Chain A
Amino acid sequence: MLEAEGLGLSYGDKYIFNSLDLSIPKGKITVFIGSNGCGKSTLLRSMARLLKPQNGTVMLDGTDISRMATKEIARKLAILPQGPIAPDGLTVLQLVKQGRYPYQSWLRQWSREDERIVREALEATGMSGLSEQSVDSLSGGQRQRAWIAMTLAQQTPIILLDEPTTYLDMTHQIEVLDLLYEMNRRDDRTIVMVLHDINLACRYADHIVAIRAGQIEAEGKPGEVIDEQLIEKVFRLKCEIIPDPLYGTPLCIPYTNCSLKAVKEVLRR
């Protein structure tokens, strides 16, 4: 269970967010949406203790994370930052093995169980066949799957991902989101991520959190919260919301007066 209570964070004298409360539903997929610079990534990073908030607390299973050992947090919560970079020549297998780092110490060295967990993570992400390839030689989608395999090997009930689909083409975006969906439904892992594509967010999220200027504008099931007014407020964009013909989830069709006028002129001819 992951919660933020009265969270406040600022850079210099500029507030990113101020007394923000949020509770992440357990075993669900939660997606943060919002325009660039609204604070959604900052919020995600604070909830994963990568940033230290000035005010308020992040509670993990009822304990303030600032009072927990970082290693202990790493066994309960995995974070995949945006655009992670693997050292040159690091193989997929070596990368995924690092996921076992929070379980190792002087007393507890590499074990058979670690080996098994790493193998399972590779299988679950379809990376078994590529395990000896170096990460930098992979395509964008494969690379992201390798990183997700690493977070899987961390065996945490909660996984946070900061824009896991950035820089990926449509096919690979879907591939990554399907993988996360499967991890959620099959292993009951709580997933929290930042996404830029509202339509994909609506399709995959159980719980959507719309953030504007460091405030939570709305949260809930995509079908219940996403409407024209919210999108206009959060993204400053006019749009038409229709039900997705395949999934029934909200589908956002943005428009501007400028482009509409152009289209009407073409139609008139």
Chain B
Amino acid sequence: MKIIYLIVPLVVLAGVVVCSVAFGVTDIPIGTVWESIIHYNASNEHLIIRTTRIPRALIAAAVGACLAIAGAVMQVLTRNPIASPSTLGVNAGAAFFIMLCGLSLGISGQQAFTWVALIGAALSGGIVFLLGSIGRDGMTPVKITLAGASMSAFFASLTQGLMLTNGKMFDQILAWLVGSVAGREMSQLEAVWPYMAAGMAIALLLSRHLNVLAMGDDMAQGLGQSPGRTKAFGAASVILLAGGSVAVAGPIAFVGIIIPHIVRYLVGTDYRWILPCSAVFGAILLVAADLGSRYIAMPKEVPVGVMTAIMGVPFFVYIARKGRRTS
């Protein structure tokens, strides 16, 4: 029965991807979209579809899927319902390192940015984990949340400082920093997808072990798991997923928090279902949010990160108010 929650969303995802390719500042008939794929003729419309719309839709889908899986994995690893790449500072760290290396070391190119983002994600994630685990009671939800919030703020401030000292390119950087999938090229997705795929594969292979870890470290160890090893693999997958996402789309918030909760509500507590469903739902959310962002201030575009924030904040408040442990 649960398979419905995977198949129906996949159909919906295909639908929103097609809409995302067809609709925007210039609406393109679905027929033309189809034609551009099978009989490409380098007309203006075909050019828009091939070089702008399709990469944009695919990047949104990939990034949405990655952030949602990363959020679901982080929520088990930290036993904290509001854990996600954005709340625990992983995204902010990755973004800061891209800025730092881009502006001061003059690094450019998607491949280089991806590596820098992975290093940044690993470093900030590691710092948050350490700060959240100091003390004899180990890692508690409150400590890890505080550590995440403070590191997010810290990296965001450093990033802003860097921006102010480098006035040029301000507009471009700002749009990227809020999180955006507009104006991307297919080559950028080609550069990051292996990391994203590796992160997803690790997470999916880990799902059975995450089910046991969700009952707590002691219980997991008592059942014959090495919680440390599960967490290390989980962290690796989060770094690949979040780092890869930030490298191509900037630090998009809230997808990683919202989606796992919706999915858990639908399919229950089994991570063998939660993770694949989160991927599909996350992809739908980001593609749809990106589509919606084109209509808010037409013909100008609002970065998709603003859209996810507008949708995410009420949801975030709802989870925080519910105040129950969910892992």
Residues of A within 8 A of B (CB): 11, 45, 48-50, 69-75, 78-81, 84-91, 94-95, 98-99, 101-102, 104, 154
Q: Which residue of A lies closest to B223 (CB)?
A: A101
* B225, A101: Cβ atoms closer than 8 Å: yes
Q: Which residue of B lies closest to A100 (CB)?
A: B223
Q: Which residue of B lies closest to A81 (CB)?
A: B218
- Shortest B32–chain A CB gap in Å is 46
Q: 9 shortest A-B CB distances, which residue pairs? A: A74-B224, A71-B224, A102-B224, A79-B222, A81-B218, A101-B223, A87-B214, A90-B269, A88-B326
* A81, B324: Cβ atoms closer than 8 Å: no
For residue B134, CB closer than 8 A to chain A, the reply is no
> Can you list 12 A-B pairs with a CB-CB distance of less than 8 A?
A45-B218, A50-B218, A75-B224, A78-B222, A79-B218, A84-B219, A87-B214, A88-B325, A90-B268, A91-B268, A98-B211, A101-B223
Residues of B within 8 A of A85 (CB): 215-216, 325
* A87, B215: Cβ atoms closer than 8 Å: yes
* B269, A81: Cβ atoms closer than 8 Å: no
Q: A45-B218, A84-B218 are in contact. List 15 more A-B contacts (CB 8 A).
A: A49-B221, A50-B221, A74-B224, A81-B218, A84-B215, A88-B264, A88-B326, A89-B269, A90-B268, A95-B215, A98-B212, A98-B215, A99-B223, A101-B225, A102-B224
A191–B216 CA distance with the chains assembled, in angstroms: 22
A86–B232 CA distance with the chains assembled, in angstroms: 22
- Tell me whether A101 and B224 are in contact in the complex, defined as CB-CB below 8 angstroms, given that A81-B216, A84-B215 are known contacts: yes
For residue B35, CB closer than 8 A to chain A, the reply is no
- Shortest A143–chain B CB gap in Å is 13
- Shortest B275–chain A CB gap in Å is 14
Residues of A within 8 A of B325 (CB): 85, 88
* A70, B136: Cβ atoms closer than 8 Å: no
Residues of B within 8 A of A45 (CB): 218
* B270, A81: Cβ atoms closer than 8 Å: no
For residue B166, CB closer than 8 A to chain A, the reply is no
Residues of A within 8 A of B223 (CB): 74, 98-99, 101-102, 154
Residues of B within 8 A of A73 (CB): 224
A86–B269 CA distance with the chains assembled, in angstroms: 10
For the complex, would chain B's binding face be called helix, strand, loop or mixed by DSSP majority?
A: loop
A258–B18 CA distance with the chains assembled, in angstroms: 82
A87–B214 CA distance with the chains assembled, in angstroms: 6
Q: Which of B172-227 contact A (CB under 8 A)?
A: 208, 211-212, 214-216, 218-219, 221-226
A258–B233 CA distance with the chains assembled, in angstroms: 59
Q: Which residue of B lies closest to A82 (CB)?
A: B218
A49–B264 CA distance with the chains assembled, in angstroms: 32
* A70, B221: Cβ atoms closer than 8 Å: yes
For residue B327, CB closer than 8 A to chain A, the reply is yes
A73–B226 CA distance with the chains assembled, in angstroms: 12
- Shortest B24–chain A CB gap in Å is 40
Residues of A within 8 A of B214 (CB): 87, 90
* B221, A87: Cβ atoms closer than 8 Å: no
Q: Which residue of B lies closest to A89 (CB)?
A: B269
- Shortest B68–chain A CB gap in Å is 18
Q: Which residue of A lies closest to B265 (CB)?
A: A89
* B212, A81: Cβ atoms closer than 8 Å: no
- Proximity string of chain B (300-327) to chain A, C-beta cutoff 8 Å, 1 when within and 0 when not: 0000000000000000000000001111
- Tell me whether A89 and B264 are in contact in the complex, defined as CB-CB below 8 angstroms, given that A11-B136, A50-B218, A98-B212 are known contacts: yes
Residues of A within 8 A of B211 (CB): 98
- Shortest B205–chain A CB gap in Å is 9
A11–B223 CA distance with the chains assembled, in angstroms: 25
The residue from B208, B224, B326 contacting A87, defined by CB atoms under 8 A apart = B326
- Shortest A38–chain B CB gap in Å is 18
- Shortest A162–chain B CB gap in Å is 9
Residues of A within 8 A of B270 (CB): 94
- Tell me whether A89 and B216 are in contact in the complex, defined as CB-CB below 8 angstroms, given that A49-B221, A102-B223 are known contacts: no
A49–B227 CA distance with the chains assembled, in angstroms: 13
- Shortest B220–chain A CB gap in Å is 9
